[in-house]
Structure 1
Amino acid sequence: MDLLHQFNIGLHIVCGTLAMLLGLVPMAGRKGGASHRRFGRWFLAATAGVLLTAVLGLAVFDFRGYLVGIVLLSVYQAWSGYRAVRTRATGPTRLDGWVAAGALVSSVVLVFCLKAIELVWTPGIIYSTLGALVVMTLYDLARFRFVPLWRRTLWRYDHLWKMISAYFALVSAFTGTVLPQYKPYSQFGPSVVGMTLVLGFGLYYALRPDASKPDLITINRSF
């Protein structure tokens, strides 16, 4: 069992490293191009590997409740960011609503469970992580009230916000784990960088919508 646990940890590290490297290409490169789509798919695959090995490690080998919130947030951000592109033409579906509701309920349940869990990470980081998940899921449930506006404009900002956030959630988990001597800065620092990029990209596309529209529509046709 210990050998399997070590193998799972090694696979988790490999997938995480690949995800952080692959995610740089779609984030920094031309939006909507072939490289953006290809590396975006590879990033999602590597992220799925990170999350699967994390869930396996938490559930079977070494349960650490304080990491469940980060896993939940990363899973949901990657899922919802991908779905923002896939459902651009139709708007959010019932599947998106059920997944959002499930993530919301899970985050609320975890908040109550954390009282009985030893918190190795800074409590403020853990609770803010769960708070971010609650805000995101509530927004996603509210989208059903303004589907036409979402389809016309907001879907592209959803995609940027959630995929960039998913990437920096991975970076935060990495730095928070390997640089514990710099806590809490190693835990929330990457998230600050990620939110700065989200705001920067959002302002760019808001001020230059004609420049962004062809690229992002290409993503929807070929992702």
Structure 2
Amino acid sequence: MTLVTIHIATGTVGLVTFWIPVGGRKGGANHRRFGRIFINTLLATGITAVGIATTTLLDPVATHPHLVEHAVFSDPLMVRAIFGWLMLYLATLTVNLAWHGRLALRHRKNHRATGTRTNNLLQIALLVASTTCLMQGYWVQQPMMMGLSVVGFATVATNYWFIFKPEPNPYDFIKEHIKSLVGAGISVYTAFFAFGAVRLMPELALTPGLWAVPLITGLTLIIYHQYAVTRKYQMRSVVAK
């Protein structure tokens, strides 16, 4: 319950502050201030989610006694899969993206420097978590878990693509920063919609549409802002010539 309390408190701050850097003027004082708050609260949210998921893996029924009466989660294996392995995967994804997004901005002049020991360990952790989510989803016959695992594999691949890119454009670090932090926001909103829905309507917790809303919204934001950054710098290049 202590972990849940901290998780809800930090997660709520993260969910609200997410929109200030996304919707506000880029690079301004509010963008930087609330961006830092967003990253720090998401790291805390992700770490506490790891603890919550671990307690579920150890004892799913005692951790979620209110779910046993519902047909969807009457099997402890299902509770362990969704609230254990899936939550652990989303928590790892959130921490990975928040940390990588911070490093992309910090090491804007040397993208290779983002490949720190901690960041490499987070890539390995996400690769393991994604594989586990895929396997657990197959064992409990939950296509949603298998589908979501693809996001983790894609994250590791794109993170390393950025780290080892031979000759990045001068604005690639901004695009990576956007991808990572908006992606972290997607992860938190996904967990909020899905796991929060269980409290109100357990039968809707595994509805694909519920999980798709934050994913589609987040991808749209990433594509739009990355396009805007690319267009801005390309226009500057044309003017300079």
> TM-score range with shorter-chain normalisation?
0.7 to 0.9
Identity percentage of aligned residues: 20
> Match for residue 74 of structure 1?
94
Q: Which runs of 5+ in 1 are unaligned?
A: 1-5, 214-223
What is the CA distance between 1:101 and its match in structure 2? 4.2
Q: Is 2:170 the partner of 1:177?
A: no
Decide whether the 8 Å contact of 2:137 with 2:146 is kept in 1.
no
Query: The residue matched to 1:148 in structure 2 has which SS?
Result: coil
Are 1:15 and 1:49, in contact at CA under 8 Å, matched by a contact in 2? yes
The superposition leaves residues 65-103 of structure 1 with CA deviations (integer Å, 9 ceiling, x where unpaired) of 121211121111111111110111111234166235413
Classify 1:162/1:212 alpha carbon distance in 2 versus 1 (closer, same or farther; 3 Å).
Answer: farther
> Are 2:14 and 2:42, in contact at CA under 8 Å, matched by a contact in 1?
yes
- Cα 1:212–1:197 change in 2 (3 A) is farther
Give the distance between the partners of 1:82 and 1:210, measured in 2 at CA: 24
Aligned to 2:160: 141
Are 1:73 and 1:129, in contact at CA under 8 Å, matched by a contact in 2? no
SS in 2 for 1:66: helix
- Letter in structure 1 aligned against 2:9: V
Q: CA deviation at 1:127?
A: 2.1
Where relative contact order (Cα < 8 A, 6+ residues apart) is larger, the structure is: 1
Q: Which amino acid in the other structure matches residue 8 of structure 1?
A: L
Aligned with 1:129 (options 144, 148, 171) = 148
How far apart, in 2, do the equivalents of 1:168 and 1:105 lie?
18
Query: Per the alignment, in what secondary structure is the counterpart of residue 111 of structure 2?
Result: coil
Tell me the TM-score normalised to structure 1 length: 0.80
Bigger Rg, structure 1 or 2: 2
Which of 45, 48, 63 is residue 53 of structure 1 equivalent to?
Answer: 48
Alpha-carbon deviations, 1:136-166, whole Å to 9, x = none? 212222334424315x231111111111111
Residue in 2 that maps onto 1:13: 8
Runs (4+) of structure 1 exceeding 6 A deviation are 210-213
Between Structure 1 and Structure 2, how many residues are aligned? Answer: 203
Q: State TM-score, norm by structure 2.
A: 0.74
Segments of structure 2 that go 5 or more residues without pairing to the other structure are 58-83, 199-203
Residue 87 (str. 1) matches residue 79 (str. 2): no
Q: 1:212 to 1:134 in 2, by over 3 A?
A: farther
